[in-house]
Structures are given as C-alpha cells and as structure tokens.
C-alpha cells in the first residue's frame, strides 16, 4: 500500500505533467488521506480497479476514464483477486478550461464508442511519450493531449446521443468520400441495418443519408470559400460522383447553387 500526501506532488503547481502506464496485481493500493494538490486522470485498458472518494466507490473496467479532484481524500487500487491495467496522468487544473473539469470529487465515465476509445488511448500514448522525452514544447504537447481527452468526455456528455449513433457519425465523417452502405455501418456498431436506421433518425432527426449529405455539403462550402479548387473538383473531394446531385444537395442545405455561393464569397473579399 502506498500512503501519500499532496506534498509529494507540489512540483505540479508549476504546471508539470507526469504520466505512467501500470499493470498492477491486487497488492496495489494508494491511500491519500488529505488528497492531492493536482488532478489525477486514469484510463483503464483492462482488468479492474477501484476508487473511493467523498463517500463514493467506483469499480472501473476497460474503457473507463476516471478523474479525482484536488483536495479530495481518496484511495484507489486493484480489487482482491484481480489485476488492473491502466494509464494515468497528474496535471494542475489551472492549466485547463474549467468547463472541462467536473465539480465532483470522483468522476467516472464509461466510453462505449470504439473510435473514441482509440482516440483517448492514443492521446495517453502521446502524453506518455512527450512527458518522458521532454523535448521542445513537451509540456504544451502534453496539455494538448489532455485537453483532447477532456473535450471528448465533454462532447460525449453534451450530445445526449446513443453511443452507437456517436460511433456512426464518426464513421460517416471518416468515410465521407466513400460510398457508404448502411449494412456495413450497422455491422460496425453491432446493430441490424433497420435498427440502426430507426435509432439514427430517433437520435438526430435525420436519416443516415441526410446526415452524410449534410456533412459533405458543409465541407464543400468550406472548400469553395477557402481554396481555389472548382466546384466539380470539390464535389468529388467530398464524395459526390454526380455533379448534378451535388448541386441539388448544395442548394438544399446552403440555399444557393455552388456558383452563386462562390460569387457571394468573392464579392465580400
């Protein structure tokens, strides 16, 4: 058992980020009766761990992101008969947007979407690498990766969408240029095509095809406004194989044809 106190982390007051990657047996336990002077964030990769703080107890499993607030007495470790595989980082809250940090002493979020899990995992890998190397701008790079994790948590909480719909939206954005089949999307998120279509419309208010076309047109409008590529090239860039279909969709979502849109943009320059 590790008995600790905030004074062990006073160096973090200057903004230093420290991180680690642990795989611990059931002998692992940390107790801090006075809490810490910094935040602790963990991401569980496998096995099981536990946290106790402010009268709450949370058992964490793969896909859980856990935050401990500064000044909160706590203990955490590996339950008896288990092992716990996780990555962690300590950081000072003053370096982050306060809106990204929870008010509670102990916060745990289960990440269901595979794509978000991958992003969080790779963000922690970058934190580990940058904090160890301590090359140029290492501290800013660590903070950028930490912000990414916290923003992903905030995004998940604010959207209110079913995690499978969040995953579907990510896949649509990722595959925007491809011919997307609902059956393939459904297999990726573990649903039947009909169930995914129904759940998607229920969550977003639009069909999968409508959502994809909206994404494509929004991207096309940005490219038309900020690049010198012509409308035909951009239609292909965002996944439309038929230019007439692109024009109809553009008018539907933007209220102008591509040429009218370009004219308006150029007139404002």
Strands 64-68 and 106-110: antiparallel
Predicted local confidence at residue 1, as pLDDT: 58
Element (H, E) at 263: helix 258-268
Looking from the CA of 135 toward its CB, the CA atoms found within 13 Å total: 7
Q: What is the pLDDT of residue 14?
A: 47
Instruction: Write down the pLDDT at residue 2.
Output: 52
Strands 64-68 and 18-24: unpaired
Separation between Cα atoms, residue 53 and residue 17, nearest integer Å: 23
Backbone φ and ψ of 139, nearest 5°: -65, -45
Helix axes 114-133, 138-159, angle to 10 degrees: 160
For residues 142 and 131, the answer to whether their CB atoms sit within 8 Å is: yes
Q: In this predicted structure, what is the pLDDT of residue 158?
A: 81
Q: What is the DSSP letter of 255?
A: S
pLDDT score recorded for residue 7 = 36
Alpha-carbon gap, residue 93 to 140, rounded angstroms: 14
Q: What is the pLDDT of residue 10?
A: 42
pLDDT of residue 15: 58
Locus of tokens 């409008």: 221
Q: Which of 185, 149, 190 is nearest to 170 (CA)?
A: 185
Angle at the Cα of 19 from the Cα atoms of 16 and 91, rounded to 5 degrees: 40
Along the 269 residues of the chain, how does pLDDT read in single tens digits?
554 433 344 434 445 789 999 999 999 999 999 999 999 999 999 999 999 999 999 999 999 999 999 999 999 999 999 999 999 999 988 878 899 999 999 999 999 888 899 999 999 999 999 999 999 999 999 999 999 999 999 988 887 889 899 899 999 999 999 988 999 999 999 999 999 999 999 999 999 999 999 999 999 999 999 999 999 999 999 999 999 999 999 999 999 999 999 999 888 77
Residue 207 token pair = 């069909």
Cα distance between residue 131 and residue 268, in whole Å? 46
From CA 190, how far away is CA 185, in angstroms rounded? 9
Dihedrals φ, ψ of 31, to 5°?
Answer: -125, 130
Domains and CATH numbers, the chain: 2-159 (2.60.120.280), 160-205 (1.10.10), 207-269 (1.10.10.60)
Task: Provide the edge-to-edge strand list for the sheet that holds 84-91.
Answer: 18-24, 84-91, 39-47, 64-68, 106-110
Q: Are strands 56-60 and 39-47 parallel, antiparallel or unpaired?
A: unpaired
């Amino acid at each position: 058992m590790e008995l600790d106190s905030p004074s062990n982390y006073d160096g973090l007051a200057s903004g230093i980020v420290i991180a680690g990657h642990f795989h611990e047996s059931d002998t692992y336990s940390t107790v801090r009766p006075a809490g810490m002077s910094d935040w602790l964030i963990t991401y569980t990769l496998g096995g099981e761990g536990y946290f106790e703080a402010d009268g709450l107890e949370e058992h964490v499993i793969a896909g859980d992101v856990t935050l401990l607030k500064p000044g909160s007495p706590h203990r955490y470790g590996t339950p008896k008969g288990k092992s716990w595989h996780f990555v962690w980082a300590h950081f000072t809250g003053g370096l982050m947007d306060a809106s990204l940090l929870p008010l509670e002493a102990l916060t745990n979020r289960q990440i269901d979407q595979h794509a978000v899990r991958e992003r969080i995992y790779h963000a922690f890998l970058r934190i580990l690498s940058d904090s160890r190397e301590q090359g140029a701008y290492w501290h800013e790079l660590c903070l950028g990766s930490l912000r990414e994790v916290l923003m992903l948590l905030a995004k998940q909480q604010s959207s209110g969408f079913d995690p499978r719909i969040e995953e579907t939206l990510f896949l649509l954005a990722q595959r925007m240029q491809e011919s997307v089949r609902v059956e393939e999307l459904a297999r990726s998120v573990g649903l039947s095509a009909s169930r995914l279509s129904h759940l998607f419309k229920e969550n977003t208010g639009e069909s999968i095809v409508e959502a994809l076309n909206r994404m494509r047109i929004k991207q096309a409008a940005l490219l038309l406004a900020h690049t010198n590529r012509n409308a035909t090239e951009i239609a292909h860039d965002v996944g439309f194989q038929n230019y007439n279909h692109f024009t109809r969709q553009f008018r539907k979502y933007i209220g102008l044809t591509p040429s009218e849109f370009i004219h308006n943009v150029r007139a404002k320059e």
